[in-house]
Chains A and B, each alone.
Chain A
Amino acid sequence: MSADTGMDAFLRAAPVTQRTGMRALLALASRPRGRRLLDRVPLAEQAAWSLLAMRRYDDPGVSRALGWDAAEVAARGRELRRAEGRP
């Protein structure tokens, strides 16, 4: 699953109010004028930055460079569960 797909699933599953707000923040953060607007509202800027950052660092290539390999963690889990008969 790509970082965008994971983020899309996250947004789709959120309640409509939060989903609308998060999509608006992401849209603003992707445009220079929107970013200038966000600069004036620190809480909104922080929220937008958090969303963008979650998407960016969920990318397997980016997170692997920081020492975290989600696929490896999940695979190790599967192996352990099979080997030890865990649920």
Chain B
Amino acid sequence: MIESADVCVVGAGAGGAVLAAELAEGGARVTLLEQGPEHDADRFSARPPEMMARLYRDAGQTATLGSPPILLPVGRGLGGTTLVNSGTCFRTPAHVLERWASEFALDLDEASLEPCFERVEAALSVAEVAPDLAGENAAVARRGAERLGWSHGYLRRNARGCVGSGVCVFGCPTSAKQHTGITYIPRARAAGARIVTGADVRRVIVRAGRAVGVEAHVRGPGAMEVRAPVIALACGTIHTPVLLDRSRVPDPSGERGRNLSLHPATAAFALMDHEVDMARGVPQSFFVDEFAREGVMLEGVAGPPAYAAMALPLTGERHRAAMASYRRLAQFGLMVSDSSRGRVRTVGRHPVIRYDLCAEDLGRFRSGLARLRELFDAAGAREVYLPLPPGVEPGRAGVGDLKLMAFHPLGTARADGRAGRGVTDGALAVRGVRGLYVADGSVVPSALGVNPQLTIMALATRLADTLLDRPGTPAVNRANTVARANGHLNTKEVLCPS
């Protein structure tokens, strides 16, 4: 099966779905290929093991190799990880944009990104969580933060008509969470985009230095080739460099797969004197950013008994006793803006992720865990359960003592405006080949310290504007354009100096 399009987008998560919708609405003939399925909310059971098997890649068991090994759960299907994240929305912090400008020569500032963020936030119905919807788990953290005088607030989320089902990360049963699968994908469809699920893209076809299509295997029909003058990869930070490797796309910067940044995270529980019912309300609704400048962000986390039982850092009788008091358990998380850097390599057809926690990040976990305990103590906790082996105090914890998960992988095809640097340039075009772009977290050049979905979506919006040659798009080397016969679309071909 051979098809043609103006643009072929690979991956339907935060970046790909946004790019596909914006381009289709701009008049481009778009084909969007997604490896996972389209999920039916009628089958969302609110039960963690079943939903992890269904909604996550590898049942949420994607793991890094290194010290310590870290679970790195990512979503799969229309919506990608936006389907299974907590819905937290932050714009890119100003200090991060300043760093990108000075360190990576990226022409991005608050003013230029403002229209992109506005469009994304309107599409996703982003609003601050109301305190009554946040639930008692957030109220516990709020009491602690207020007593300690720590900076805090309710998070902004992409949700509409939320009733606090408490299972954002296991598939929102009310479709209140406005993930890209129910926001941008319907817009793309309405604008005429062809969306193919179950499409495993095997390689990007490159001829004479330019990308001309992709080869995929689609469940059912079998082999498929999409020919398009513009290809945009949005397979996510772990899989985009692997697809580039498999396609033997040149890597003049030598940085592909490197510079992997994560937000390693952990969480503590507290036993309170009153009922908390942590799964009633929005699990991630409240933050404490008192230590954000030190690279430590405290954010809400919670879930139903099966989730809490899995995460509770106890064993034996202590675990049974704590779970018997599940209704009085509170939980709060700690996320580190990392200095460590990992690497994604391609082994066979698959990614192997290496990531070792550096001493600086270990220090952040030590201080963050101490602060989580302080937060719960100030909130009146009867007992605090830190994710450390018995007898290990936060200040003396070693890397091997930490029980970590990680979220928000970024940077493996990082953008860099300096000549010859970065896997992608300032316009998100892949260096060394024409007509190939990246629209996912892999282009984000450094850790953000906050949840990245809005940043990824805003960058995808900006890329769509660039490809449609809308006013205000980045000044790039416009060697020529690919124009559609009807003249409506004026897709730029960006020639990058390598």
Q: Which A residues touch B50, using CB under 8 A?
A: 1, 5-6, 9-10, 58
Chain B residue nearest to A35 (CB atoms) is B316
User: A1 contacts B47, CB within 8 Å?
Assistant: yes
- Given A77-B174, A86-B174, are A68 and B304 neighbors across the interface (CB < 8 Å)? yes
Q: In B294-310, which residues have CB < 8 Å from any A CB?
A: 304-310
Of the candidates A3, A9, A42, A74, which one forms a contact with B46 in the assembled complex, judged by CB atoms under 8 Å apart? Answer: A74
Could you name 24 residue pairs across A and B whose Cβ atoms are closer than 8 Å?
A5-B50, A6-B53, A7-B49, A9-B49, A10-B49, A10-B50, A18-B61, A18-B63, A43-B400, A54-B306, A56-B309, A57-B305, A57-B323, A63-B304, A67-B326, A70-B46, A71-B45, A71-B46, A73-B167, A77-B172, A77-B174, A78-B41, A81-B175, A86-B175
Q: Which A residues touch B45, using CB under 8 A?
A: 1, 70-71, 74
Known contacts A9-B50, A68-B305; 19 additional CB pairs below 8 A are A9-B49, A9-B54, A11-B59, A12-B53, A14-B58, A14-B59, A15-B58, A18-B61, A53-B306, A53-B319, A63-B304, A66-B323, A67-B326, A70-B46, A74-B173, A77-B172, A77-B174, A86-B174, A87-B41
Q: Does B195 contact A (CB under 8 A)?
A: no
Q: In A42-87, which residues have CB < 8 Å from any B CB?
A: 42-43, 45-46, 49-51, 53-58, 62-63, 66-68, 70-71, 73-74, 76-78, 80-81, 84, 86-87
Of the candidates B41, B53, B315, B390, which one forms a contact with A81 in the assembled complex, judged by CB atoms under 8 Å apart? Answer: B41
A53 to B324, CA, bound (A): 12
A53 to B315, CA, bound (A): 9
Q: Which A residues touch B167, using CB under 8 A?
A: 73
A53 to B48, CA, bound (A): 12
Minimum CB–CB distance from B104 to chain A (whole Å) comes to: 34
User: B48 contacts A54, CB within 8 Å?
Assistant: yes
User: B403 contacts A13, CB within 8 Å?
Assistant: no
Number of A-B contacts (CB under 8 A): 144
A45 to B316, CA, bound (A): 9
A5 to B49, CA, bound (A): 9
User: B61 contacts A57, CB within 8 Å?
Assistant: no
Q: Which A residues touch B437, using CB under 8 A?
A: none
User: B305 contacts A87, CB within 8 Å?
Assistant: no
Q: Which B residues touch A70, using CB under 8 A?
A: 45-47, 304
User: Helix, strand, loop or mixed for chain A's interface?
Assistant: helix
Flag A2-30 by CB within 8 Å of B: 1 or 0 each. Answer: 01011101111111001100000000000
Give residues in B with beta carbon < 8 Å to A: 41-42, 44-50, 52-54, 56, 58-59, 61-63, 161, 163, 165-167, 172-176, 182, 186, 277, 279, 304-316, 319, 323, 326-327, 389-390, 400, 403
Chain B residue nearest to A55 (CB atoms) is B49
A56 to B82, CA, bound (A): 29
Minimum CB–CB distance from B111 to chain A (whole Å) comes to: 34
- Given A15-B58, A50-B311, A57-B309, are A9 and B53 neighbors across the interface (CB < 8 Å)? yes
User: B327 contacts A66, CB within 8 Å?
Assistant: yes
User: B58 contacts A18, CB within 8 Å?
Assistant: yes
4 nearest A-B residue pairs (beta carbon): A77-B173, A53-B309, A13-B59, A58-B306
A58 to B403, CA, bound (A): 22
User: B174 contacts A45, CB within 8 Å?
Assistant: no
Q: Which A residues touch B166, using CB under 8 A?
A: 73
Minimum CB–CB distance from B19 to chain A (whole Å) comes to: 21
Q: Which A residues touch B316, using CB under 8 A?
A: 49
Q: Which B residues touch A77, using CB under 8 A?
A: 41, 44, 46, 165, 172-175
- Given A73-B165, A76-B165, are A81 and B174 neighbors across the interface (CB < 8 Å)? yes
User: B161 contacts A46, CB within 8 Å?
Assistant: no
A55 to B63, CA, bound (A): 21
Of the candidates A3, A12, A46, A78, which one forms a contact with B313 in the assembled complex, judged by CB atoms under 8 Å apart? Answer: A46
User: A66 contacts B305, CB within 8 Å?
Assistant: yes
User: B49 contacts A14, CB within 8 Å?
Assistant: no
Q: Which B residues touch A1, using CB under 8 A?
A: 45, 47, 50
A77 to B46, CA, bound (A): 10
User: B326 contacts A66, CB within 8 Å?
Assistant: yes
Q: Which A residues touch B327, using CB under 8 A?
A: 66-67
A45 to B50, CA, bound (A): 23
Chain B residue nearest to A56 (CB atoms) is B309
Q: Which B residues touch A53, using CB under 8 A?
A: 306, 309-310, 312, 319, 323
